[in-house]
């Protein structure tokens, strides 16, 4: 881990776990509540992201009581129509502007990515400072993961207009208009941004957990 990260990690950044999707490729249902090893899928994400942020919230259009055990604020999309991860990012920005007005940044990751790096947020913060970025996203093994990113909340107004007035849905199409940086993470011995889309991916995730246990 970069020795310069300590002074950035957890400084004025709110974490947004995106759980607003419909899990169609998974077969429907509440994917984030499926058990992976000894805990819920979303709890793996919470445990890895919580130490890196000032506060965590969950963006979900599901019944908020489903998350009662996690004891986190649950915020539905601030615009209707299940408009994808950009709507969740907007929701996070607007929640922070209203509830944490001194905070300038949010970090987002999906609720189905249980191996997010423990230096994920600090690396992005450092990059944003050094490159004067408005957005920092990640890649691994040259594969982009645009849902995993650091976003300056001043972009909220532009993002709302893009979603409502321009019908923008793809993250890459929107971020191309701003000061964007990409950080490359290693995908060895496994991709830390591996996310669970299908039931078969749960088996792969279990194997990764067992692999990590053997390394301890």
Neighbours of 149 (CB within 10 A): 23
Q: Kindly state the helix (H) or strand (E) to which residue 178 belongs, with its residue range.
A: none
- What percentage of residues in the chain have a pLDDT greater than 70? 91
Cβ-based neighbours of 54, under 8 Å, separated by 6 or more = 10, 11, 12, 13, 14, 100, 103
Cβ-based neighbours of 146, under 8 Å, separated by 6 or more = 85, 137, 171, 172, 175
All structural domains of the chain with their residue ranges = 13-215
Q: 69-90, pLDDT tens digit by residue?
A: 999 999 999 999 889 999 999 9
Question: In this predicted structure, what is the pLDDT of residue 1?
Answer: 44
Strands 35-36, 39-40: pairing kind: antiparallel
State the average pLDDT for the chain. 92
Query: Do 120 and 52 form a contact (C-beta atoms < 8 A)?
Result: yes
Query: Do 126 and 176 form a contact (C-beta atoms < 8 A)?
Result: no
* 210 class by beta-carbon count within 10 Å (0-12 exposed, 13-18 middle, 19+ buried): exposed
Query: Do 36 and 206 form a contact (C-beta atoms < 8 A)?
Result: yes
CATH number assigned to the domain covering 13-215: 3.90.550.10
User: At 132, phi and psi to the nearest 5?
Assistant: 55, 45
Query: Do 135 and 149 form a contact (C-beta atoms < 8 A)?
Result: yes
pTM over 0.95: no
HEC profile for 40-72? EHHHHHHHHHHHHCCEEEEECCCCHHHHHHHCC
**170 torsion bin: left (phi>0), alpha (psi -120 to 50), beta (else):** beta
pLDDT tier for residue 195 given thresholds of 50, 70 and 90: very high
Averaged over 177-198, what is the pLDDT? 96
Question: In this predicted structure, what is the pLDDT of residue 25?
Answer: 58
Question: In this predicted structure, what is the pLDDT of residue 164?
Answer: 96
Question: In this predicted structure, what is the pLDDT of residue 12?
Answer: 87
Q: 47-68, pLDDT tens digit by residue?
A: 999 999 999 999 999 999 999 9
């Amino acid at each position: 881990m970069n020795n310069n990260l300590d002074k950035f990690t957890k400084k004025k950044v709110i974490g947004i776990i995106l759980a607003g999707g419909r899990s169609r490729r998974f077969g429907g249902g509440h994917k984030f509540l499926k058990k992976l090893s000894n805990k819920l899928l979303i709890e793996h994400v919470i445990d890895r992201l919580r130490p890196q942020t000032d506060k965590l919230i969950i963006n979900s259009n599901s019944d908020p009581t489903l998350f009662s055990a996690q004891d986190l604020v649950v915020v539905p999309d601030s615009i209707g129509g299940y408009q994808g991860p950009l709507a969740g990012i907007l929701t996070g920005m607007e929640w922070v502007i209203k509830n944490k007005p001194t905070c300038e940044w949010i970090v987002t990751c999906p609720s189905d990515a249980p191996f997010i790096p423990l230096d994920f947020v600090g690396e992005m913060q450092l990059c944003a400072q050094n490159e004067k970025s408005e957005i920092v996203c990640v890649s691994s093994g040259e594969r982009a993961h645009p849902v995993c990113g650091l976003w300056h909340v001043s972009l909220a107004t532009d993002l709302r207009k893009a979603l409502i007035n321009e019908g923008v849905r793809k993250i890459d199409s929107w971020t191309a208009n701003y000061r964007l940086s990409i950080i490359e993470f290693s995908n060895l011995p496994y991709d830390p941004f591996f996310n669970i889309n299908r039931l078969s991916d749960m088996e792969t995730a279990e194997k990764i957990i067992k692999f990590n246990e053997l390394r301890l």
